[in-house]
Amino acid sequence: MNENRTAPKGLPNGKPELNTMGALAGGVQGKTGSRPRANVSVVRCSTRALDPDNLRGSVKAILDCLRNCGLITDDTEAAISLDVSQKKVASRKDHKTLITIEYGTLPRGKSS
């Protein structure tokens, strides 16, 4: 109850809305549903290192966000090539996460 003795209204709708416009204007062009395989690289820059299993698990929320906003079609191995690494930085002010997405059909480092 608030000071007017009415129940608070809360959030109007707790469900996320689908953005049909896409996350970036002028994104990947092509037929609908035919987006090429994405090479996703995530670099965690921190003063402390994570063990390999925690490092890989730490990008789940990032991948879910990339999928939900339409930057990647799915977070399966068939849809993306995922590279997760970490870099030690000197101080907390240098903490950051670098995300790179490249669209193509070949895994990073291979050429035709």
Whole-model pTM: value is 0.62
Q: Are 84 and 59 in contact (CB under 8 A)?
A: yes
- Judge whether 17 lies within some domain: no
The pair of three-digit structure tokens given for residue 7, joined into one six-digit string:
């129940």
Residue 27 covered by a domain: no
Q: Is residue 75 part of a domain?
A: yes
Answer whether residue 110 is part of any domain: no
Residue 46 structural domain: 38-103
The pLDDT tens digits of the residues spanning 46-73 come to 999 999 999 999 999 999 999 999 999 9
Question: Is 85 within the bounds of a domain?
Answer: yes
How many domains does the chain contain in total? 1
Is residue 94 one of the residues assigned to a domain? yes
Q: Confirm if 38 and 72 have CB atoms less than 8 A apart.
A: yes
pLDDT in tens, 15-47: 556 655 555 555 544 444 556 789 999 999 999
Is residue 111 a part of any domain in this protein? no
| 78 inside domain | yes
